[in-house]
Structure 1
Amino acid sequence: MKVSKENTKYLMNWDSKKIWKEEIISKEFIKYLKEKEVYELIKDQNTQLGIISERDLINWIEKKENQNFWEDKMEHHICEKIIKDDDDYFVGCDYEDFKDGYFFVASLWKMEKGENLIILEHYH
């Protein structure tokens, strides 16, 4: 993917003495997803999954692993209670609502080349 300079951020971490770049892969949020919608999208091998946890780093799932990840981790673990308040959204799920005490908030994005991207915010 070709990235222009204005779409690349350089980040500095003084503790680790590292500079790295962060690329913008999407500027187009579509919507929050229900569990059935997530399942339908991951059946398409062209949908990319990314998981965000505490540090806002994205862990990418190989597209060929989408179905296995769905069956092992996501099925019955998608929070569908997303509450819109003015221009902000709030998570209305609780850990006790889900087996093993974790859930994902799934959102659909369009990548720069038009592919589907599902970001899974991992709450645990």
Structure 2
Amino acid sequence: MNQAARRIGRTLALVLPVVLVLSGTLAVTRVPWAAPNAESQVLTASSGTASTQAKARAPHEVLRDRLLTELQQKNPGAALTDLQRETESRPSLAQYCGQIARALGRAAVAKYGAKKAQSYSRPVCDTSFASGVVAQGH
């Protein structure tokens, strides 16, 4: 019995590190290399080869990030005007309008405070900007 336990122990000592290395290597499929706001590159491990690929971003995410930057550089009114123009010229973005307007509302509160942020409110995407202001203000 003692010798059988020793044999099992030796087998595990040899096999376990190999299994852990392989499973750990295959489990890590994404490693972000860039800052969260930049386009991220990922390391993908598949069938023994690794390659670096740029992650494609959805058009509404690109628009949201651009408008948030515009809000910081200019004001929420300019960002809301551009949001309205973009959703009118690209109807595929209309479904994300409320989500983007709420994000702009939250960012406006962070920059200007709730009262001043609310003064920029306008009927773009119904009342989504205002709801973002209210949600962040409380």
Q: What TM-score do you get using the length of structure 2 for normalisation?
A: 0.22
Question: By percentage of residues, which structure has more strand?
Answer: 1
Task: Between the two structures, name the one with larger relative contact order (CA 8 Å, sep ≥ 6).
Answer: 1
More helix by share: 2
Structure number, greater radius of gyration: 2
